[in-house]
Amino acid sequence: MASFFEKQTINKSNLLTRRSALNAIGAGVTASICSSFLTSNALATSNIPFGVAVHLDPFRNEPIFRELLKQHAGLIVPMNALKWASLRHTEGKFDFGGSDEIINFAEVNNKPIHGHALLWYDANPSWIDAVTSPPLLEKLLIEHIETVVGRYAGRIATWDVVNEVVAHDPLTQGKWRKGVWHNILGPRHVEIAFAAAAKADPTCRLFINDYDLEDDSLRTEARQRAILQIVRRLQKKNIPIHGVGLQAHLYAERRTGRDNLIKFVRELKSLGLEVAVTELDVIDWKLSADPKVRDRAVVATVREFLDAITDAGSVRNITTWGLSDKHSWIKDVFPRSDSAKARPLPFDDQWQKKPLFDLIKKYTK
Ligand code: G3I
């Protein structure tokens, strides 16, 4: 896992925006952020569903998680239960135990469901990573997508069809993510996956999902260009694609490239695509240990990003990658150098609300 990041409203009142700006400054954020508050769209977009990615272990074992989901989630995303590694332990059999548990809960509680993910270079069973025959791999991919999307057809409203197919750094690594799908099938793997998903559930909204699309570094610009190229190529071939998911694993030490992000989102919209925030959390590994300082910086980081993306146009949903710090992946992949616990999510490790929760509620319904 550590490899993929390769470590390293029209304003209701100016009062609100001024307060936001002051908070941001208090968190050590530079004045450049303040310009965004003049156009902040947050209050006008408060009909955006608040999505939560659901990790099976706490979902099963910590009743408070299910209670908080019932209270607050406007969308449910099975975090790992729909990945190949969870569904396909052996080639001959699908294991829908975990995904059914989460999806049934979502349906009973009238929560829409977003599916994650039909193709990813990571979290594959070893038997799929070992396939070397292109026709066989294509057949397995199509069968998998038809079976999984088919099972939940009409129930899962949106799918991440492909996840992280763009290289971490297209400037030095070429456009495509290396992994079994690209290595064996070449760029066609994306087309095969979208076509199979569209066939299995023609009503479903189909997304491409990726990370590091928010700042204005040359690497991020190259990643944005790669996404736009993939979208245009699918459209040229009349293969349905409906949206782009911005994971938004934000780094507290990086700034949102506001103008660049708005340009990117508007280009996607001009191609007829929707935009969703799919895996929001904040990597706080470089911040000082004081939880109050960190919580303020996390809020400032997320506010800056959400202001930019909501100013760029409508957002289908804002989803956090889990709810409680207790179960976040960030402490494992981005460990701190001190003994302080990572604080990337809206609730702390005792399931207590943090300032990030209140912030997200300002942008979501
Ligand atoms: O289910 C097994 C359990 O049986 C076993 O005892 C335990 C021992 O390690 O592992 C459990 O599986 C783990 C699984 O999470 C469920 O907890 C895997 O080892 C672990 O690798 C897996 O990590 C997930 C990772 O994707 C890989 O699937 C993280 O929870 C999840 O947050 C992460 O999510 C990704 C997105 O899909 C794509 N974008 C980046 C994001 C963060 O890495």
| Predicted pLDDT at 231 | 99
Q: What is the pLDDT of residues 192-241, one digit of tens each?
A: 999 999 999 999 999 999 999 999 999 999 999 999 999 999 999 999 99
Amino acid residing at 20: S
Residue tagged active-site, from 221, 274, 279, 304:
279
Mean pLDDT over 269-298 rounds to: 98
Identify whether 67 is a catalytic site residue: no
Asked if residue 183 has pLDDT above 90, the reply is yes
Name the residue with higher pLDDT: 45 or 12: 45
Please tell me if the CB atom of residue 163 comes closer than 6 angstroms to any atom of ligand 1. yes
| Predicted pLDDT at 169 | 98
| Predicted pLDDT at 21 | 35
Query: Comparing C-alpha atoms, which of 325, 256, 263 is closest to residue 294?
Result: 325
Structural domain count of the chain: 1
| Predicted pLDDT at 115 | 99
Asked if residue 37 has pLDDT above 90, the reply is no
- Cα of 261 from ligand 1 centre, angstroms: 29
Q: What is the pLDDT of residues 107-161, one digit of tens each?
A: 999 999 999 999 999 999 999 999 999 999 999 999 999 999 999 999 999 999 9
Among 223, 329, 330, 332, name the best residue to mutate to test ligand 1's pocket (greatest count of ligand atoms within 8 A of Cβ).
329
Please tell me if the CB atom of residue 11 comes closer than 6 angstroms to any atom of ligand 1. no
Percent of the chain beyond pLDDT 70?
88
Ligand 1 atom with the shortest distance to the CA of 333: 43
In a domain, 103, yes or no: yes
Please tell me if the CB atom of residue 279 comes closer than 6 angstroms to any atom of ligand 1. yes
How far, in Å, CA of 20 to CA of 18, rounded? 5
Asked if residue 259 has pLDDT above 80, the reply is yes
The domain of 213 spans 5-19+29-363
Asked if residue 185 has pLDDT above 70, the reply is yes
Asked if residue 314 has pLDDT above 60, the reply is yes
Percent of the chain beyond pLDDT 90?
87
E-state strands within the chain: 50-54, 75-78, 114-120, 158-163, 205-210, 243-246, 249-251, 274-283, 318-320
Triad 148, 154, 160: Cα angle to 5°: 50
Please tell me if the CB atom of residue 331 comes closer than 6 angstroms to any atom of ligand 1. no
DSSP per residue, 29-64: --GGGHHHHTT--GGGGTTB-EEEEE-HHHHHH-HH
What contacts 183, CB < 8 A, 6 or more positions away? none
Nearest CA to ligand 1 atom 32: 329
Identify whether 91 is a catalytic site residue: no
For the purposes of burial, counting CB atoms within 10 Å of the CB of 247, is it exposed (0-12), middle (13-18) or buried (19 or more)?
A: buried
Asked if residue 96 has pLDDT above 70, the reply is yes
In a domain, 77, yes or no: yes
- Cα of 312 from ligand 1 centre, angstroms: 32
Nearest CA to ligand 1 atom 18: 123
Asked if residue 249 has pLDDT above 50, the reply is yes
Q: What's this model's pTM, rounded to 2 decimal places?
A: 0.90
Name the residue with higher pLDDT: 212 or 43: 212
Please tell me if the CB atom of residue 86 comes closer than 6 angstroms to any atom of ligand 1. no
Asked if residue 309 has pLDDT above 90, the reply is yes
Please tell me if the CB atom of residue 64 comes closer than 6 angstroms to any atom of ligand 1. no
**Mean pLDDT rounded to a whole number for the chain:** 90
- Cα of 112 from ligand 1 centre, angstroms: 23
| Predicted pLDDT at 39 | 40
Asked if residue 292 has pLDDT above 50, the reply is yes
| Predicted pLDDT at 43 | 52
Asked if residue 99 has pLDDT above 80, the reply is yes
Helix (H, G, I), strand (E, B) or coil at 93: strand
Please tell me if the CB atom of residue 80 comes closer than 6 angstroms to any atom of ligand 1. yes
DSSP letter at 77?
E
Residue tagged active-site, from 164, 221, 274, 304:
164
Helix (H, G, I), strand (E, B) or coil at 205: strand
Identify the weakest region by mean pLDDT among 24-38, 256-270, 321-335.
Answer: 24-38
Banded model confidence at residue 1, pLDDT cuts 50, 70, 90: very low
Asked if residue 316 has pLDDT above 60, the reply is yes
In a domain, 161, yes or no: yes
How far, in Å, CA of 69 to CA of 77, rounded? 11
| Predicted pLDDT at 16 | 30
In a domain, 162, yes or no: yes
Longest dimension (CA), the chain: 62
In a domain, 24, yes or no: no
Is the Cβ–Cβ distance between 260 and 217 less than 8 Å?
A: no
Asked if residue 25 has pLDDT above 80, the reply is no
Please tell me if the CB atom of residue 212 comes closer than 6 angstroms to any atom of ligand 1. no
In a domain, 114, yes or no: yes
For the purposes of burial, counting CB atoms within 10 Å of the CB of 219, is it exposed (0-12), middle (13-18) or buried (19 or more)?
A: middle
- Cα of 55 from ligand 1 centre, angstroms: 9
What pairs with residue 51 in β-bridges? 75, 319
Name the residue with higher pLDDT: 38 or 325: 325
CATH number, domain of 78, equals 3.20.20.80
How far, in Å, CA of 319 to CA of 275, rounded? 12
- Cα of 207 from ligand 1 centre, angstroms: 21
Query: Comparing C-alpha atoms, which of 363, 328, 334 is closest to residue 348?
Result: 328
What contacts 233, CB < 8 A, 6 or more positions away? 191
Query: Comparing C-alpha atoms, which of 296, 284, 295, 290 is closest to residue 334?
Result: 284
CA 108 to chain CA centroid, nearest Å: 24
Nearest CA to ligand 1 atom 38: 163
Please tell me if the CB atom of residue 2 comes closer than 6 angstroms to any atom of ligand 1. no
In a domain, 52, yes or no: yes
How far, in Å, CA of 129 to CA of 123, rounded? 10
Helix (H, G, I), strand (E, B) or coil at 156: coil
How far, in Å, CA of 99 to CA of 80, rounded? 8
